[in-house]
């Protein structure tokens, strides 16, 4: 969806690159952050339309980032998709709009993001 901004927060550069490619190929503007503190700095400059965050990261993990975003009136309504491979971290992601397990299917993640951002569904075939 043209003009919509997604912030990808993950400490793994290869995951950030993969998600950037998936979202940009669908017309989204993408920015990246390696952890929650860097994400908050980017959000201060420009509030994204959606955040996709890993849960287990150094400096500030996804749980702390989600709590911060949901408690701030400027970002409380920003949809958050939490992605984690750790079953214990899922409990910390309860305030996220959607929690996905790793590994995930790119198409499923993109469908969720499109839905949260109000993008029209495309049909193929």
Instruction: Domain of residue 40: give its range.
Output: 5-115
The pLDDT, as a whole number, for residue 101 is 85
Alpha carbon distance, N-terminus to C-terminus of the chain: 21
| 123 within a domain of the structure (yes/no) | no
| 122 within a domain of the structure (yes/no) | no
Side by side, the strands of the sheet bearing 98-101 are 29-33, 5-9, 50-54, 80-84, 98-101
The pLDDT, as a whole number, for residue 2 is 54
The pLDDT, as a whole number, for residue 76 is 94
Separation CA 123–CA 93 (nearest Å): 31
| 26 within a domain of the structure (yes/no) | yes
The pLDDT, as a whole number, for residue 120 is 46
Average pLDDT of each block of 10 consecutive residues along the chain (125 residues)? 86 93 94 96 95 90 93 95 81 85 87 85 38
| 121 within a domain of the structure (yes/no) | no
Which single residue is written with the structure tokens 């959607």? 98
| 124 within a domain of the structure (yes/no) | no
- CATH label of the domain that carries residue 29: 3.40.50.2300
Separation CA 3–CA 75 (nearest Å): 18
The pLDDT, as a whole number, for residue 41 is 96
Q: How many other β-carbons are positioned within 10 Å of the β-carbon of residue 62?
A: 29
């Amino acid at each position: 969806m043209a003009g919509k901004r997604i912030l990808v927060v993950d400490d793994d550069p290869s995951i950030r690159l993969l998600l950037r490619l998936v979202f940009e190929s669908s017309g989204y503007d993408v920015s990246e952050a390696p952890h929650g503190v860097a994400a908050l700095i980017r959000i201060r400059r420009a509030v994204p339309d959606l955040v996709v965050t890993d849960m287990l990261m150094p400096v500030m993990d996804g749980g702390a980032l989600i709590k911060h975003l949901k408690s701030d009136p400027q970002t409380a309504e920003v949809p958050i998709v939490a992605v984690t491979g750790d079953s214990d971290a899922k409990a910390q992601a309860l305030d996220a709009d959607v929690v996905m397990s790793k590994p995930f299917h790119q198409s499923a993640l993109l469908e969720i993001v499109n839905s949260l951002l109000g993008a029209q569904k495309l049909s193929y075939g």
